[in-house]
Amino acid sequence: MKNSHIKATTIRVLMIIFLLLIISLSTVGFYFAQNYLTEASMKNEDTSLVTSSVNKSTSATKKIQDDIAKYQPVADKANSVFASNQDYQSQILKDLKSYASVNGISIDSYEFNKPSGSGAKTSESGKNNINITLNSSIQFTKLIKFIKAIETNAPKMQITELNISPIAGSKDSVKVNPITIEIYSR
């Protein structure tokens, strides 16, 4: 038996030729198929089909408009999750004062600032902080309701730092150190 050896360069040249042949045959085949389909569609085109397709597209457009109107409240709610960068401070302050008023709590002071992250890009993250100081003595149940209102707010706010301590001689009042709240904005 004779041992025949084909060189690697010969195989590579043959592979390139076959590849170019397949690409060119595919291109020619797609060109003729496209021409054939275009001619066939022109021959079969009927005015009733055109009218039917226009009616279908009009009804589809109407359905899409109805769906948009139907889901608009969902889109509005999704947009309200984040406060806008321009007016988030006034909106958040208004919300906090409202929640405090409803729960019988007074806010003594507040201060907006960027969060100090651990090397993260805080200016691009859309997160801002507000530190609020509440009055010295607060009923625990009112504080819990106030916290729940903050956490369920739209735009989204989240308490990141809260320290409370009991007041001596009072069963239901606590002292609250300044609260840090994270606000999500875009």
Omega before residue 155 within 30° of 0, cis: yes
Domains of the chain listed by start with CATH number: 8-79 (no CATH), 88-184 (3.30.70.60)
Confidence of residue 13 (pLDDT cuts 50, 70, 90): very high
Residue 97 has pLDDT above 60, yes or no: yes
Distance from C-alpha of 180 to C-alpha of 163, rounded to nearest angstrom = 10
| pLDDT digits 0-9 by tens, 39-81 | 877 766 655 555 666 667 777 788 888 888 888 887 776 666 5
Q: Are 128 and 115 in contact (CB under 8 A)?
A: yes
CA-closest candidate to residue 176, choices 141, 155, 166, 22: 166
Question: Quick one: pLDDT at residue 121?
Answer: 42
Torsion of CA 159, 165, 170, 172, to 10 degrees: 30
| pLDDT digits 0-9 by tens, 14-41 | 999 999 999 999 999 999 999 988 887 7
Backbone angles phi, psi at 85, to 5 degrees: -65, -30
Confidence of residue 120 (pLDDT cuts 50, 70, 90): very low
Who wins on pLDDT, 180 or 61?
A: 180
